[in-house]
Structure 1
Amino acid sequence: MPLNNDVTRFLDELHHPLRQEIEALRLIILQANALLEENIKWNGPNYSIGPEDRVTMRIQPPKQIQLVFHRGAKVKEQPKGRLIQDASGLLVWRENDRAIASFKHMEAVKAGEQALAAIVRNWIAATV
């Protein structure tokens, strides 16, 4: 899936200090699942399948990048257990259907690339 030009322009205007990390994360997410579409939502890059938001990149405050894994904006009944397994430890769980992965520098992005791609694939499979 190609990068969305509107998202690129949005990021160009921000002059974010972690822009390289943002770009690497964009590619990892989009390459993990060909059905994902990139757009802007909640003041950052967002990834959805059709109208269903699944991963949102939180880029403010600019000290770290967070990927929020969710099932959309509307509250849904919680599953009994976590939606996916994460042996890598990248995810911090907020609810059984909401987790966050945080990245403060490029080394963390590179170290977590394989695990993150698997998390994205598994998240989409579990939530679509």
Structure 2
Amino acid sequence: MKKGSEKRVKKKLTGPEQVAEFMAKLDHPLKEEIEEVRKIILSCDSRITEHIKWNAPSFLIENDDRITFNLKGKGFFRLIFHCGAKKSPEPIKEPLFVDNTGILEWQTNDRALVNFFNKNDVKDKEEKLRTLIKEWIRTTAN
């Protein structure tokens, strides 16, 4: 083989490697808080895996995206709770479940948001977020 004819093939990163690389390069004023929320999500269920979707960390159950960061805000970030890319065969007529935590902002009956503004906000919402994540997974997992 001639010198220089070998092409370097970039190894495809695993989901966690994608997220680690993304977080290492992330320039966001709430990076520490984002990392804390990420740890909370991953600790809620051993089946949760992660990768990058919509240019942010996203969390999957059985290879279906369920929770994705939205990091585009100024002075805040949000989590998007969703049911993945698959269309529901019939329209959902009411929210997937009753949110007893009070922190979800329903956008549609199968999509909701939670906003975070600072370290204290993450700390104040931590237990409610854990409850919410477990309920979302229980309700949306196949």
**Same topology, TM > 0.5:** yes
Query: Kindly, what percent of the aligned residue pairs are identical?
Result: 38
State yes or no: 1:25 paired with 2:37. yes
Runs of 4+ in 1 over 4 A off after TM superposition: none
Other-structure match for 2:93: 80
Which of 50, 66, 73 is the matching residue for 1:38?
A: 50
| Gapped regions of structure 1 (runs ≥ 5) | none
| Gapped regions of structure 2 (runs ≥ 5) | 1-14
Q: CA RMSD in A?
A: 1.5
Q: How far apart are the structure 1 equivalents of 2:41 and 2:67? A: 9
Question: How many residues were matched structurally?
Answer: 126
Q: How far apart are the structure 2 equivalents of 1:42 and 1:68? A: 11
Other-structure match for 2:116: 103
- TM-score, structure 1 length as denominator? 0.91
Q: How far apart are the structure 2 equivalents of 1:84 and 1:29? A: 19
SS at the partner of 2:106? strand
Bigger RCO of structures 1 and 2 (CA < 8 A, at least 6 apart) = 1
Q: Please give the residue correspondences for 1:1-128 in structure 2 after superposition, counting only pairs within 5 Å.
A: 4-76=16-88, 77-128=90-141
Residue 16 of structure 1 aligns to which amino acid in structure 2?
Answer: H
Residue 18 of structure 1 aligns to which amino acid in structure 2?
Answer: L
SS at the partner of 2:128? helix
